[in-house]
Amino acid sequence: MASSIDLFPTVDRGSGYGGTNILALPHDVLLTHILTRLDGPTLSSAACASSTLHSLSSDRKLWIDICESTWPSTADPRMRQLIGSFPSGHRSLFSDSFPLLAPNPDTASPIPHPGRPSNGTMELISAVDIHCKNQPIFSKVQNVETESGWFLGSPFIVDLLSPKDSIPTQIKHNDRADEDDKFLKDLEENMTLSWIVVDPNLTRSVNLSGRRPISVERHWLNGDVQLKYVTILTGDRQSPSEYVQCEIVVTCGGCEGEEMHVREVTLQVEDLEGKCLSGRDSLAILQRAMERGKREKVREGEDGKARHRNFMEMRKERTERKQRREKVIDMVCVTVMVAIFLAYWSYVLFLR
């Protein structure tokens, strides 16, 4: 969809419409020939320009087409039915899921007491799409139940593919040493990912991917290509999960000259100590991000890398503080033990 259309061009008075701007066109012409050519952000901007455009831009089919062209997974019947329960349907989904999330310290609060979620959430639904050069290469919708003790107490890890699954792409694999850097750079610039998580009970959604990878590297052992996508969220204040990292890893492999295959697509949530959060803690943080998360327009890729670097610096500082604290505790323990030892032998020698 084009996004560079001038919304208010001058209309030739001799055209028969008798107006001086685009609003003079018949509404059916605006709806079918103009607004259908806009992408989501531009359509949202157009809706703010006038009451007429606001009314026309609320057309249900416009937003269905935009969402399904942006995220093919939303065309899945399960997703269509679920999105229909949102307050404004596909427009609500786009509003929740298109802007990228940014850490918002104002939303930090203690994670709820252990136990079953109190808001009635029974499952989370993931709608995942991977594109290369704007062409879809992988789409999947997957449900994750959230009520069992297994989910609440186990690390929150979502695997979209089983070990036997392998999704072919049209990307030619290249592992020649003299061209490898160029090949990996091309993947970094052109392979985008969207991971939308929907809470059916809240009828809210959030996109956990920064769209572009923060790193593209080869696995040190088998040579597979690993693309890492990251979003930083606010967690539990004054704890290791004060900020958390939603990390998505896409693993691709193949033989030289043949098509690459997507072999793994995995999501997990890590705290500042590098520990994978439990399902209960992850659910609470994701729901908070859906309802109160800060969504903003950022530069894809570069801003994600900067936030990831800041997160890793905080992790390093926290690790160093912990090591210093443990060192002090060790010194105190050694000092106490030495003091006890000396006191004991002083007592023994004194009695003699």
Digit-coded pLDDT (tens) for 109-141: 565 554 445 467 899 999 999 999 889 999 999
Domain identity same for 264 and 142: yes
Q: What does the pLDDT read at residue 249? A: 96
Query: Is 109 inside any structural domain?
Result: yes
Query: Is 69 inside any structural domain?
Result: no
Q: What does the pLDDT read at residue 84? A: 93
Domain identity same for 47 and 114: no
Q: What does the pLDDT read at residue 95? A: 92
Instruction: Give SS3 for 139.
Output: strand
Residue closest to 261 by CA, chosen among 125, 72, 130: 130
Domain identity same for 143 and 27: no
Residue 301 has pLDDT above 70, yes or no: no
d(CA 55, CA 338): 80
Query: Is 86 inside any structural domain?
Result: no
Q: What's the rounded mean pLDDT across residues 304-332? A: 87
Residue closest to 94 by CA, chosen among 57, 120, 124, 140: 57
What's the domain count of the chain?
A: 2
Domain identity same for 249 and 172: yes
Q: What's the rounded mean pLDDT across residues 141-154? A: 93
Two tokens, residue 33: 């020939």
CB 58 within 8 A of CB 35: no
Mean pLDDT of all residues belonging to the chain: 84
Burial of 203 from C-beta contacts in 10 A (0-12 / 13-18 / 19+):
middle
Output the CA–CA distances (angstroms, integers) from residue 297 to 206, 303, 337, in the order listed.
Answer: 14, 10, 58
Q: Which residue has the higher pLDDT, 65 or 315?
A: 65
Confidence of residue 9 (pLDDT cuts 50, 70, 90): very low
Domain identity same for 50 and 100: no
- Residues 6 or more apart whose Cβ sits within 8 Å of residue 254: 173, 260, 261
Q: What does the pLDDT read at residue 150? A: 92
Query: Is 343 inside any structural domain?
Result: no
The CA angle 197-202-206, to the nearest 5 degrees, is 30
d(CA 216, CA 199): 30
d(CA 140, CA 125): 10
Burial of 196 from C-beta contacts in 10 A (0-12 / 13-18 / 19+):
buried
Domain identity same for 219 and 119: yes
- Residues 6 or more apart whose Cβ sits within 8 Å of residue 321: none
Q: What's the rounded mean pLDDT across residues 188-199? A: 94
Instruction: Give SS3 for 147.
Output: coil
The residues facing 231 across adjacent strands are 246
Q: What is the pLDDT of residues 53-85, one digit of tens each?
A: 888 888 999 999 999 999 999 999 999 999 999
d(CA 259, CA 173): 6
Domain identity same for 217 and 283: yes
Domain identity same for 172 and 282: yes
Instruction: Give SS3 for 4.
Output: coil
Q: What does the pLDDT read at residue 111? A: 59
Domain identity same for 170 and 266: yes
Domain identity same for 212 and 259: yes
Q: Which residue has the higher pLDDT, 30 or 265?
A: 265
Domain identity same for 102 and 19: no
Residue written as token pair 């010194």:
331
Query: Is 90 inside any structural domain?
Result: no
Q: What does the pLDDT read at residue 158? A: 95
> What element of type H or E holds 199?
strand 191-199
Two tokens, residue 235: 């967690």
Domain identity same for 104 and 52: no
Residue closest to 4 by CA, chosen among 50, 52, 39: 39
Q: What's the rounded mean pLDDT across residues 92-101? A: 90
Query: Is 352 inside any structural domain?
Result: no
**227: containing domain:** 95-316
Q: What does the pLDDT read at residue 107? A: 60
CB 266 within 8 A of CB 248: yes
d(CA 70, CA 38): 12
Q: What does the pLDDT read at residue 18? A: 46
| C-alpha dihedral (207, 213, 215, 217), degrees to nearest 10 | 110
CB count in 10 Å sphere of residue 182:
11
Q: What is the pLDDT of residues 150-181, one digit of tens each?
A: 999 999 999 999 888 888 888 887 767 678 88
CB 139 within 8 A of CB 72: yes
Confidence of residue 306 (pLDDT cuts 50, 70, 90): confident
In degrees and rounded to multiples of 5, residue 237 shows phi and psi of -60, 140
Confidence of residue 300 (pLDDT cuts 50, 70, 90): low
Q: Write down which residue in 58, 77, 104 finishes a domain.
A: 58
Q: What does the pLDDT read at residue 123? A: 93
Q: What does the pLDDT read at residue 173? A: 76
d(CA 262, CA 251): 6
Query: Is 75 inside any structural domain?
Result: no
Query: Is 286 inside any structural domain?
Result: yes
Q: What does the pLDDT read at residue 344? A: 81
CB 257 within 8 A of CB 176: no
Confidence of residue 239 (pLDDT cuts 50, 70, 90): confident
List, as own/partner pairs, every contact residues 19-25 make where C-beta atoms lie below 8 angstroms and the sequence separation is at least 24, other chains included. Answer: 23/50, 23/52, 23/53
